[in-house]
Amino acid sequence: MISPTRSSSVQAKARRDCFDAHKKQDEIGNIYLVCHLCEGRINPAIEPWIAEHAVRRAVGGSDAPSNVLPAHQKCAREKDRVDISENARGKRVSDKHFGIVKKRGFNRRRDMKFNWQAGRYEGGR
Ligand SMILES: [Zn+2]
């Protein structure tokens, strides 16, 4: 996932480091990368690719080249989509579990009625 707080020059450096660390060369001398998601070959000259954190920075992944791997843009987009929904689900579950999210409104007894003239709930006991 690309954090919006990182400048484009930092991203360019990360991509360059990633490229240098992971580039491979085939028997006829073509430079290529291997997508860490689908394990397919990326031709970096013609295919859009991104430098991706194998372990997300959000969960403590480092910026070291060993953790920043090339991926097809389309594969990364698919993974990001899954990551985001997993994160959101995980957050919702823990919010509920640890009582972070409170129920909205106050617990009005069912037999109370709102008195518009008085501006308050009345009745019940
Ligand atoms: Zn791929």
Distance (angstroms) between ligand 1 centre and the Cα of 90 equals 26
Does the residue 121 lie in any domain? no
Q: Is residue 65 part of a domain?
A: yes
C-alpha to C-alpha distance for 96 and 16, rounded to whole angstroms? 42
- Measured in Å, residue 54 CA sits from the centre of ligand 1 at 13
Q: Classify residue 76: in a domain, yes or no.
A: yes
User: What is the full per-residue pLDDT of the chain (125 aa) written as tens digits?
Assistant: 555 556 778 778 889 999 999 999 999 999 999 999 999 999 999 999 999 888 888 899 998 999 999 999 999 888 777 777 777 777 777 777 777 776 666 666 677 788 888 888 887 66
Domain boundaries, position 35: 8-97
Between the CA of 53 and the centroid of ligand 1 the distance, in Å, is: 14
Q: How far is the CA of 92 from the centre of ligand 1 (A)?
A: 30
Cβ-Cβ contacts under 8 Å for 117 (sequence gap 6 or more): none
C-alpha to C-alpha distances, 82 to 52, 75, 76, 87, 89, nearest whole angstrom: 15, 11, 10, 9, 11
Q: How many domains does the chain have?
A: 1
Q: What is the pTM of this model?
A: 0.60
Ligand 1 center to 41 CA (angstroms): 7
Is residue 108 assigned to a domain? no
- On whether residue 50 sits in a domain, the answer given is yes
Q: Is 89 helix (H, G, I), strand (E, B) or coil?
A: helix
DSSP H helical segments within the chain, as ranges? Answer: 8-22, 73-97
